[in-house]
Structure 1
C-alpha cells in the first residue's frame, strides 16, 4: 500500500488537542486556585500549627516578604537575602569568612529574616539610608560606621531560579524540589550556569554537559534530538523546570535551543523518588530564563564555519507601572549546512518563547509560559562499521539521500501558582501541556554485502503525533520538632500522554560506501505500523529534609507511581498492556564537621516500565535500579571554588534479554543485570577575580553482570573507562587590557564499546577549544571561538554497528553580543 502524500502531510500539519488542552487546563487551574484558597483558610484556622514567631509592630510596618534561604555560608546567605529583600548588604569581608548562616524560610519582615540569618554568629546589623544594611561585630556607632565592605545587591527573584554570578552556583531545586544549598544535598549534583554557556558559545545541550563528569551523548535518533548517558545508563529524556518530558516517547521531539536556558542541572543517580519513571543513571533538568524585576535585554548574532548563522535575543522586565506583572520574550533562529557533505540537506531551527509572572500579592504568584520550536534537519545515522570491523570512513561520508529529512515542531504551555499560606506553609501547583509532531523520511542502514562496500538501505516514512498533560500539586511545610527543623514536601502528580504513530517502509537502492553515487528514487512504500499508545500516570510522593543539628542533615523520600499503558494496534505487532505500580525511595545523610566541608552517604532507587512480552504473553515488569553513593563536597577557596567528589555503585535489574528457548520469536526473559561502579570529581568556581574554571573527571566500570545471551563482563555501550574535561577563562581586571577575556579547554574521552556484544570499539579522543573576547563598549562584546583546534577526527557517539555519529571538524564562530 503506497502512502498518500496528501494524507501524510495533512496528518502531520493538522492541529490536534488544543481545545482539549484549553478545557483541561482551565479545569485544572480552577481546581488549583480552589485548593489554594481552601488551604489558606485552613492554615489561618484555629487548628493550624502555631507560627514560628509573631511579627512585631515594627516588622509589620516595614512590610513582609517571602524568604527561602537554605543553610549555607553566611556570604552566600546574605547574597540571597539581598536578592529577596531588595536591599544592599555591606559587611567586612573578614567578619563573614568561614561563618555559617541558619536556614530562613517563610513570610516575614526583612528585619526578622536578618535576625534569623545572624542568629548565633555574634554579628549585629544596622540599616542606613533606607535600602542599605551594614553588619558589624559590635554596636554600630558614628565612629565605626565606615567599614571595609563586601557588597551584595540583587532582585527578589527566587534564588533557585536566579542567574548565577559567575560559574559557581550555591543552591538548586532539582535534587529536592525545594531551594536547598548544594552542600546539604546527599547526592552529586552539578549546575552549569548561563555565563559558562555564553563563554563557550554553546549551541546544543551536549556541549553544555561536556563540563559534567560521567555524562555523554547517547544518541541523536537520526539527527532529530539529543538523548544522554549518565553514569553509564541511557537516559532518553530530561526535565524542563522540574517536569519530565512526554513519557510516551522514547526520545525528545526536537533539539533543545539554548537561547531560553538559564542553567543546566545534572542530578547523578536514581531520581524516581521525586520524578517517577526514569533510568538509574540520573536526571538532566533544564532551568529556563525567568522574567526579571528590572528592565534588561540581550541580543547575539553569530556566524561561523559550514555556513553557520544564528541570531538570538531576549528582553525582560516589568510590564505594568507597579511591577506586579513581569515578562520575558525570547527568540532565536539558526541555520547551517553542516559538515556531512553536500548531499546532506541544510539544518534550520527557530524558537519563540514568552514567560509571564504576576505577583498578585505578597503571598501569591502566578506564572505562565509558552514556547514553540520548529526544526528541519537531514535524517542522518552517521557512519557504519566497515569490513575491517572499525568505523573508518571519513567523517563527511553521507550515506543517505538529500530527500531523507526530519521535520518537527513542538509547543509547550505551562501554568503555575504559588501561595504562601503563612510563615510555615507554601502551596504550589503546575500544569503543563505539550503538543508535538514529527515526520521523518529516514534511511536506515541494513548491513554490508559480501563485497564489503555495498550497503543495503531501507526507507521509512514515519509520523509521530503526540500530546502530554502533566498536573502537579505540592505543599511545603517548615516547622521545628524537638529542636530539629523539618522541611516536609508532599505532593500528587497526574500525567496523561498519547502518541499516534504511523509508518510505511520500503527498500531503496544500495550505495557504495567508498564511492557513493546519490540519487536513489524515493519508492512507493507499504504500511508497516499504525497504532495509538496511551499512558496514564498517578503519583503520590513525600520528602522530609531534617536539620538534626547544625552539623547533621537527613533527607528521606518516598514515591508511589501507578502506570497504565495501552496500545490500539491497527497494523503491525502489538505489545501487551501495562498496569504496574512501583514504590521508590531515597535516604541520605550529610555531616558537616566544619563550615566548608560536607561528607555524605545516600541510597536511592529507580524504576522504568518497559515494552516487550514474555513467552507466556505477559507484559514485562519494570526495570529497577539501586544506587549506593559516598561523597565529599568542599569549598577549596571559601565562597569561590567548590569541589564534589563521589564513589558509587548502581545496579539495574529486570533487564530484558532474548529468550534462548525460542530464538526465532520476539520473546524476552528478565534475567539481565547491569552494574556500574565509578569515581567522579567535579570542580567549579573562581580562582581569583576574573579567573573562572570548571573541571571534571570520571572512572566508570560499566558491565553486564547477568544475561541469558550476552557474555557476562561485557562493557556497556558507549561508556568510556576514563573521561575528563577542563575549561577556564580569564578576564583582565585593570590596565590597558581591562575587559579582554581569554579562555580554553580540553575534553578527553577514552575508547568505548559500540554495542552490548562488544563486537567493535571506537577510539578515544582529545578535543581542544579556545575563545577570545573583547568589549567594544560598555554594552557590546565581540568574541571568537574555535572548536576542535587540532581538527581531531573521532566518533562522538557510537550507537550500533550501523549508527555512529562523528565529531565535528575544526570550526570558528564569531559573535557580537549586546546587553542592556
Structure 2
C-alpha cells in the first residue's frame, strides 16, 4: 500500500510538472525517495541481465528462470551447478576432470556459461558462488545475442557490483570434511557526492575433502571493482578478479555394465599425491550510457587462465572381469588467454503508431591457447579400483624410458565475430512481436572459417496483467571441427527450437509460474563417413532431437513461506545412433526447495527449510547399454536472521545417497563417471556492519 501511495504522489508531481515545463525550463534539485525494506522473497524483480535488449522478463517470449541472492543465501548450495540444476530439464554432468562445469539443458550438452553476459572460451570450473548475486537460465536454441551456443539454452552468472551504500559483511563457513572458509564483502562510496563507489569480495578456502587424496584444497579468491558516475548519463566501471586454487585431481569413478558403482566413491583412480593447480585472472571495464529513449553498453574483458596437472596417472580403461582400471603416466598443462569485447545499443521509437524497441549489438573475441599434453601408452599402470594399492610415488613421463605420445600444441588463436539486430514491436499494449537476426563468423588461426546466420522470432500476449501466452522459434549454431573426405571443415551444427507456453503470476503477484512445451532439432551432427576406409573422415548428416514439457515456480506463497520448484520431462533421440536416447539425459527431473519462518511459534527470526532433487534414470553410453539408476537427494536447513546477523546450519545429501552426475565418455570401454557429493554438514554465520 505504501508503494502505491508513493506512486500516486509521484504521478501527480509528474503531471503537474508537464505544465510547468511547457512554459519554461527550471533546474530543480533531485529528490530521492527511498523506502527501506527487508525482502526475503525468492521471486526476482530485477531486470534480466542476459537480455541485451533490456526488455523485461515478463515481456520476453522466452522461458527464463532466475535464482536471486535470497535463495542463494538460504539454500547454501556448495557449487554453482547445484543452483543451475534447480531449473527444469537442467542437469549437471561433471567437470571434465576439473576443467569446466558441464550443463545439459533440454537434452543437449555444451551449454555456454556467461559471466555478466560475456562468454569465455576457457573458463574455470566451479566458479566462486560468493561472487554472484543472480543465476539466470534461458531455455531453447538461441544464438541471436551471444553467438555459438547449445540448442538447449544458456546460463548467465551475474556478479556483485559496486554499491553506493556502505557495506561491510563478514562470513565464516565450515563443513565436516573438515573445511573452513572466511569471506569478506565490503563496499560503499568514496566521495561525498556518491559519484565514486566500489566493492571488494574475498574468499579463502581450506578443504581436506572427502576422498582419500593426500592433497587438500586451498583457494584464494579476490574480486575488486570500482565505478565512477561521470555524470547523470554515463558510468564507467572497472572490474578485476583473481583466483589461485590447488585441488586434488578428479578423474571420477567407474560403473559396471549394469550401471552400478564398483568402488567406494572416496577412492581416487589416479594417485593420492596428484594435484591440480589453477590460476585465473580477469580485468575489464564497462561503460554505460543511459538517456530517455536510448541506452548503450560497452564491455571489455581480458582473461588469463593457467591449468597445471603436472604428472598424473590417467585412467582410460576399465576391465569389469577384474574390476581394475588401466592408467597411463601423463602430464598436461594449458595456458590460455583471450580478449572479449561487446557493444549493445537500444533505442525506443514509434513507427506507424506502434512502439518499437530496437537493439543493435556487436561482439568480438580472440582466444589464445597453448597446451602441453604427453602420455606414455606402452607402459600401463593397472590398479584395483575397489582395493587400490598405489605406487610409492608418481613417475614422470620422462623417466619411464618408453616412447612418449606428444599431443601438445603451440600457441594458436581463434577469432569470433558477430553482429545482431532485433526489434520488439508492441502491436498493441498487450501483444508484442520480436524478430531478430545475427551473423556470426569463427576463424581459427590455422583452420577454415565457419559462419552462420541465425534468426529468432517470438510472440507474447498478455491476456491479463497476471497471465501471458508466449511462443518462439529460434536457431543456434556450433562450429564443427571434423573434416570431410575432401579435407574441408564440416558445416556448423545447427539447432532449431520451437516453444509455446505461458507465464502466470500468483499470490498477489509475489509468485511466478512458467510452463512450456518444446521441440528442438539439431542438424549437421558429425558422423563417420562410411566411404572412408581410414575411419577418420566425417559427414555432417547426423540429426538429434528432443521434445518435452516443463514447469518452473518461484516466489512467496505467504510472508512466511518461500518456494522454488520445477519439473521437467525430456524425450531425446540420437538419429546418428539408431534413435537411441542421448547420453546423460534423464526423462524426468524435479526439484523443490522451501523455507518457512516460524512466526506461528513466536520465533519470527528463525526459519526451517529443505529440499529434494529427483534425477531419473539415464544412459552412460551412446549405445544405451549402461543404465544409470535414478536418485533422490534431500537437503535440510535451519536458519536465523535478525538485524545484521545471519546463521545457518544445513545438511546436504541428507541420506548420504551415492549417485552419478554424468559419464565422462560415451564408450563402453571407458565407463568413467562423476559421482555426487556425499552427505555434508555445513554451518555458517555472518554479520553485516
Normalized against structure 2, the TM-score is what?
0.92
1:432 to 282, 286, 301: 301
* Structure 2 match to 1:211: 86
Q: What CA distance in whole angstroms lies between the structure 2 residues aligned with 1:599 and 1:662?
A: 50
CA distance in 1, matches of 2:534, 2:671: 22
Within 2, Cα distance between the matches of 1:311 and 1:324?
Answer: 30
Paired with 2:322 and 2:585, the residues of 1 have a C-alpha distance of 28
Alpha-carbon offset, residue 300 of structure 1:
1.3
CA distance in 1 between partners of 2:550 and 2:13 (Å): 37
Q: Is the alpha carbon distance of 1:748 and 1:387 closer, same or farther for their aligned partners in structure 2, counting shifts above 3 Å?
A: closer
Partner of 1:398: 268
- Alignment match of 2:563 (pick from 693, 701, 705): 693
Shift of 1:91: 2.5
- Tell me the residue number matched to 1:794: 659
Q: What's the counterpart of residue 761 of structure 1?
A: 627
**Structure 2 partner of 1:281:** 152
Q: Say which of 436, 442, 445 aligns to 1:566.
A: 445
State the secondary structure of the residue aligned to 1:272: coil
Q: Do structure 1's residue 192 and structure 2's residue 67 form an aligned pair?
A: yes
Match of 2:381 in 1: 509
The 1:235–1:387 alpha-carbon spacing in structure 2 relative to 1, beyond 3 Å, is closer
1:290 is the counterpart of 2:169: no
Partners of 1:130 and 1:620 in 2: CA distance: 59
Q: Are the aligned partners of 1:225 and 1:256 in contact in 2 as well (CA < 8 Å)?
A: no
| Equivalent residues in 2 for 1:450-599, closer than 5 Å | 451-507=321-377, 508-519=380-391, 521-525=394-398, 526=404, 527-567=406-446, 577-599=447-469
Residues 25-78 of structure 1: per-residue CA shift (max 9 Å, x gap): xxxxxxxxxxxxxxxxxxxxxxxxxxxxxxxxxxxxxxxxxxxxxxxxxx9xxx
Q: Secondary structure at the match of 2:490?
A: coil
Match in the other structure for 1:570: none
Task: Report the equivalent of 2:220.
Answer: 350
In 1, distance between residues paired with 2:320 and 2:167? 63
Pairing partner for 1:331 from 193, 198, 202: 202
1:318–1:324 Cα contact (<8 Å) kept: yes
Question: What residue in structure 2 maps to residue 573 of structure 1?
Answer: none
Residues 290, 355 of structure 1: 8 Å contact kept: yes
Corresponding residue of 1:605: 475
Partner Cα separation in structure 1 for residue 299 and residue 229 of structure 2: 16
| 1:406-425 to 2 correspondences below 5 Å | 406-420=276-290, 422-425=291-294
1:566 CA drift (Å):
2.3
Report the CA distance between 1:224 and its aligned residue.
3.5
User: What pairs up with 1:49-88 in 2 under 5 angstroms?
Assistant: none
Q: Contact (CA 8 Å) 1:254, 1:408: kept in 2 or not?
A: no
For residue 615 of structure 1, report the CA deviation from its aligned partner: 2.2
Contact 1:298/1:817 (CA < 8 Å) preserved in 2? yes
CA-based RMSD: 2.5
Residue 221 of structure 2 aligns to a residue whose secondary structure is: strand
1:622 aligns with 2:492: yes
Where does 1:380-395 land on structure 2 (aligned, <5 Å)?
380-386=250-256, 390-395=260-265
- 1:199 aligned counterpart, secondary structure: helix
> How much does 1:204 deviate?
1.3
What secondary structure does 2:81 align onto?
A: helix
Partner Cα distance (1:588, 1:346) in 2: 49
1:457 to 1:153, Cα distance in 2 relative to 1, 3 A = same
Name the CA distance, whole Å, in 2 between partners of 1:361 and 1:165: 33
Q: For residue 25 of structure 2, what is the aligned residue in structure 1?
A: none
Q: 1:381 touches 1:802 (CA, 8 Å); kept in 2?
A: no
1:449, distance to aligned residue in structure 2 (A): 4.4
Match of residue 18 from structure 1: none
| Contact map agreement 2:93 2:674 (CA 8 A) in 1 | no
DSSP 3-state at the match of 1:408: strand
How has the CA–CA distance of structure 1 residues 164 and 492 changed in structure 2, closer, same or farther, with 3 Å as cutoff? farther
- Find the counterpart in structure 1 of residue 649 from structure 2: 784
Distance in 2 separating the partners of 1:171 and 1:549: 24
Query: Do structure 1's residue 253 and structure 2's residue 124 form an aligned pair?
Result: yes
SS in 1 for 2:632: strand
Q: Structure 1 pair 511/380, CA: closer, same or farther in 2 (3 Å)?
A: same
Inter-partner Cα distance in structure 1 for 2:13 and 2:348: 15
| 2:200 match: secondary structure | strand
Classify 1:815/1:115 alpha carbon distance in 2 versus 1 (closer, same or farther; 3 Å): farther
Rounded Cα–Cα distance in structure 1 between residues aligned with 2:173 and 2:631: 27
> Do 2:431 and 2:462's aligned partners in 1 also have CA atoms closer than 8 Å?
yes
1:744 aligns to 2:610 (yes or no): yes
Query: 2:106: which partner in 1?
Result: 231
Report matched runs for 1:164-175 at 5 Å: 166-175=41-50
The answer for unaligned runs of 5 or more in structure 2 is 19-28, 399-403
Aligned to 2:684: 815
Aligned partners of 1:704 and 1:465: how far apart in 2?
35
C-alpha separation in 2, matches of 1:174 and 1:132: 25
Query: SS state of the match for residue 628, structure 1?
Result: strand
CA contact (8 A) 1:490 1:541 kept: yes
Structure 1: which 5+ runs fail to align?
1-74, 76-87, 97-108, 119-128, 134-150, 155-162, 568-576
Structure 2 Cα separation of the partners of residues 245 and 271 of structure 1: 17
The structure-2 alpha-carbon separation of the partners of 1:283 and 1:449, relative to structure 1 and needing over 3 Å to count, comes to closer
Q: Secondary structure at the match of 1:534?
A: strand
Cα contact 1:254–1:375 (8 A) shared by 2 = no
Residues 95-110 of structure 1 mapped to structure 2, 5 A cutoff: none
1:680 Cα deviation from its structure 2 partner: 0.5
1:308-361, Cα deviation, whole Å (9 max, x unpaired): 2112121111111210011000001112122222x3522222210011111110
Rounded Cα–Cα distance in structure 1 between residues aligned with 2:114 and 2:390: 40
For 1:312, which of 161, 175, 183 is the aligned residue?
A: 183
Q: Among 237, 242, 265, which residue is 1:367 paired with?
A: 237
**Shift in Å, 1:218:** 2.2
Q: 1:444 to 1:115 in 2, by over 3 A?
A: farther
Distance 2:535 2:526 in 1: 14
SS state of the match for residue 192, structure 2?
Answer: coil
Give the TM-score of the pair, scaled to structure 1. 0.77
Q: Is 1:447 matched up with 2:320?
A: no
CA distance in 1, matches of 2:229, 2:32: 24
Contact between 1:610 and 1:622, CA under 8 Å: does it hold in 2?
yes
CA distance in 1, matches of 2:586, 2:320: 32
Q: Which residue of 2 is the match for residue 806 of structure 1?
A: 675
Query: Is residue 443–residue 458 contact of structure 1 (8 Å, CA) maintained in 2?
Result: yes
Please state how far the C-alpha of 1:90 moved relative to its aligned partner.
4.7
Separation in 2, partners of 1:277, 1:790 = 40
For residues 438 and 59 of structure 2, the distance between their equivalents in structure 1, rounded to whole angstroms, comes to: 21
Larger CA deviation: 664-673 vs 192-201: 664-673
Secondary structure at the aligned position of 2:93 is classed as strand
Relative to structure 1, is the Cα distance of residues 448 and 388 closer, same or farther in structure 2, using a 3 angstrom cutoff?
same
